[in-house]
Homo-oligomer: A and B are copies of this chain.
């Protein structure tokens, strides 16, 4: 694969171990919020606008970029699905099936790259470049965060990109308390 072009790791012989830790690591508050969104609210398909919204909110708990949020959701979804696949308890269902050969395997398909419309690209600086597609999510304006958190008021943008004119007025911030769930602390 060509993932090796992700960044220039090689120093040309002089491995200076002072690599700036370029990999984002979620801080505990960030993780708590993200997990709350995913598990508690079932929020799994954030739009790019919502990603920005989430990211903006999480910035007060540590450095974070849009793509981190994007990848976080992608990875979590992928790994949950992967676990369902790998640890799949085969539905023996009372029938001890050792009669292979007759029943063809229809469940062994891998995804055939179905035409997935929305694809979000990122520039070199991490800037989001959304290409509008269709989002298969069931929520339209999920109230992600209350506007009165800590200090996001000054930087709050109305998530109104000039040009992404799909559906007028895509504001995301509404009133809803997020810290209602009580996970993330097994004290």
What residues make up the interface of A, taking CB atoms closer than 8 Å to B?
1-2, 4-5, 9-13, 15, 25-26, 28, 31-32, 35, 39, 47-49, 51-52, 65-67, 70, 82-83, 85-92, 97-98, 100-101, 103-108, 110, 119, 121-122, 124-125, 140, 164-178, 181-186
Partner of A97, one of B87, B108, B125, B171: B171
DSSP majority for the A interface?
loop
Contact between chains at B186 and A90 (CB < 8 Å): no
Closest to A38 in B: B181
Determine the distance from Cα of A166 to Cα of B122 in the docked complex, in whole angstroms: 41
Contact between chains at B90 and A66 (CB < 8 Å): no
